[in-house]
């Protein structure tokens, strides 16, 4: 195998189905690192001596670390040899998870630092996706990215129930120690199976960072797709942060039952390969329109009495996950097509925007639910993708 995969054609031949499955698994397992803590902060905080007010910092700092990693590390995929870069970040993630899992009682402030590092070092997933796009043949790129994004979404959706179940049976530390073991396995897989890719980009790191602004100015499509998906992911995060409160407080579900409920959302992962095929077939605009219509409709379902039942909330989760994933994959394919030599930086801009939206959705979830109940969550959640839909239709009308 050619060690320098700087062009798409020779690289395309090296992307086997087995490698696609491997990349999908790695993406799901790595991105799960930033979601493990969400359902178990109530267990972690008192054990480490963190107050109720500071407990939410565990999740916030993990998300902040991830956003910083997207901004500062992911663009390096256009400058440094990709496999070495990904292995290095995976090693840091493994060490950070192990340190978090071995934290002693009273080390709350230290744990917050580990949370920041876990988020920062889990961005190798956003290096794997552009690499897969580079390796895939042009006519299959949407399908390949869609399949890998399906693995990523499964990781997001399964992390919460898995974390809850493990913490219930073995304690919260076992969650992080187990995740460190998974990262060790991923490091070995990346070293043994991932092809090398040496980017052709020769700029300095400072020039690379400045070029992010240049890309934003140069490509209106990048700005549009980042805006649409930021609002979609804000609704996604708002829903998945608020729904456990509703299920526990108003429907009386236990932690284990909420974990089972969260598994229902994994059904939405089927949208990823479907979206990839739609984009490959030239139906990206129709697919995005469907997603932007489906997301607010799914959340408005919760305003009805049947829609606020456990089954109704589960249906909302499936439809919302389907819509968010579909729009993400279609947008990602269009963004990657803008400039093949800059996919790492394009992905950094796109994904940073998305996770900033997600952080916003998570941040307002508790206040919305406590002040206005599920109706407030449903209305605000539906309003976010509705704004994206209006902008999308205006852009489409102007051609």
Q: What is the per-residue DSSP string for 286-298?
A: HHHHHHHHHHHHH
pLDDT above 90 coverage of the chain, percent: 39
- Higher-pLDDT residue of 45 and 2 is 45
Residues 6 or more apart from 224 whose CB is under 8 A from it? 391, 392, 395
Instruction: Indicate the DSSP class of residue 38.
Output: G
The DSSP secondary structure of 322-370, one letter per residue, reads HHHHHHHHHHHHHHHTT-GGGHHHHHHHHHHHHHHHHHHHHHHHHHHHH
Does residue 279 contact residue 254 with C-beta atoms inside 8 Å?
Answer: no
Q: Just give the CATH number of 11-398.
A: 1.20.1250.20
- Higher-pLDDT residue of 14 and 81 is 81
pLDDT of residue 2: 37
- Higher-pLDDT residue of 84 and 106 is 84
* pLDDT tens track for 3-50: 333 333 444 445 678 888 888 999 999 999 999 988 787 788 889 988
Report the pLDDT averaged over residues 306-327: 90
54 token code pair? 């500071």
* pLDDT tens track for 65-75: 998 898 899 88
In Å, what is the CA distance from 33 to each residue of 180, 229, 233, 239? 9, 21, 18, 20
pLDDT at 176 over 80: yes
55 token code pair? 């407990």
pLDDT of residue 282: 75
CA distance 161 to 265: 11
pLDDT of residue 240: 84
CB atoms within 10 A of CB 254: 12
Torsion angle, CA of 183/171/116/71, rounded to 10 degrees?
A: 50
Report the pLDDT averaged over residues 73-88: 88
- Quick one: pLDDT band at residue 376, thresholds 50, 70, 90? very high
Residues 6 or more apart from 244 whose CB is under 8 A from it? 39, 258
Question: At 389, phi and psi to the nearest 5?
Answer: -65, -45
In Å, what is the CA distance from 1 to each residue of 12, 163, 195, 298? 12, 39, 8, 47
pLDDT at 307 over 70: yes
386 token code pair? 């509705």
pLDDT of residue 132: 83
CA distance 335 to 316: 28
Report the pLDDT averaged over residues 343-368: 83
Q: What is the mean pLDDT of the chain?
A: 85
pLDDT of residue 3: 39
pLDDT of residue 215: 92
- Quick one: pLDDT band at residue 94, thresholds 50, 70, 90? very high
Does residue 215 contact residue 349 with C-beta atoms inside 8 Å?
Answer: yes
Residues in the chain: 399
* pLDDT tens track for 217-276: 999 999 999 999 999 999 998 898 788 888 888 898 887 888 888 887 667 666 667 777
Radius of gyration of the chain (CA): 20
pLDDT at 384 over 90: yes
Lowest mean pLDDT among 93-102, 148-157, 159-168, 371-380: 148-157
Task: Please work out, in degrees rounded to the nearest 5, the angle formed at the alpha carbon of residue 66 by the alpha carbons of 197 and 8.
Answer: 20
* pLDDT tens track for 196-214: 888 776 778 888 888 889 9
pLDDT of residue 13: 42
Report the pLDDT averaged over residues 292-312: 92
* pLDDT tens track for 219-230: 999 999 999 999
pLDDT at 195 over 50: yes
Instruction: Indicate the DSSP class of residue 98.
Output: H
CA distance 386 to 388: 5
């Amino acid at each position: 195998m050619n060690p320098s995969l700087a062009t798409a054609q020779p690289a395309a031949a090296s992307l086997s189905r087995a490698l696609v499955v491997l990349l999908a698994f790695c993406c799901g397992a790595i991105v799960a690192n930033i979601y493990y803590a969400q359902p178990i902060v109530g267990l972690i905080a008192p054990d480490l001596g963190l107050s109720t007010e500071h407990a939410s910092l565990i999740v916030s700092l993990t998300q902040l670390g991830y956003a910083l990693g997207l901004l500062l590390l992911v663009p390096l995929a256009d400058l440094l040899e990709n496999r070495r870069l990904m292995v290095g970040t995976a090693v840091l993630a493994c060490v950070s998870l192990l340190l978090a899992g071995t934290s002693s009682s009273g080390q709350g402030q230290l744990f917050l630092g580990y949370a920041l590092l876990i988020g920062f070092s889990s961005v190798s997933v956003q290096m794997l996706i552009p690499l897969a796009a580079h390796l895939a043949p042009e006519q299959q790129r949407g399908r390949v990215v869609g399949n890998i994004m399906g693995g990523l979404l499964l990781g997001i959706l399964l992390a919460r129930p898995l974390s809850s179940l493990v913490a219930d049976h073995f304690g919260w530390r076992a969650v992080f120690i187990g995740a460190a073991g998974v990262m060790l396995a991923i490091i070995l897989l990346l070293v043994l199976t991932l092809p090398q890719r040496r980017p052709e980009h020769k700029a300095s790191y400072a020039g690379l960072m400045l070029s992010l602004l240049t890309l934003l100015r140069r490509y209106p499509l990048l700005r549009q797709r980042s805006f649409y998906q930021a609002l979609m992911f804000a609704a996604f995060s708002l829903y998945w942060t608020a729904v456990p409160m509703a299920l526990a407080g108003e429907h009386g579900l236990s932690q284990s039952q909420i974990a089972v409920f969260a598994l229902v959302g994994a059904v939405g992962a089927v949208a990823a390969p479907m979206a990839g095929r739609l984009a490959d077939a030239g139906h990206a605009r129709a697919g995005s329109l469907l997603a932007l219509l489906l997301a607010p409709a799914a959340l408005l379902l919760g305003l009805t009495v049947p829609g606020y039942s456990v089954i109704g909330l589960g249906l909302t989760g499936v439809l919302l996950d389907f819509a968010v994933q579909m729009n993400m994959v279609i947008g990602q394919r269009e963004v990657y097509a803008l400039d093949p030599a800059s996919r790492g930086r394009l992905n950094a801009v796109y994904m940073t925007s998305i996770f900033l939206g997600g952080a916003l959705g998570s941040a307002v979830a508790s206040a919305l639910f406590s002040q206005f109940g599920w109706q407030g969550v449903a209305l605000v959640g539906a309003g976010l993708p509705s704004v994206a839909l209006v902008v999308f239709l205006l852009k489409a009308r102007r051609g």
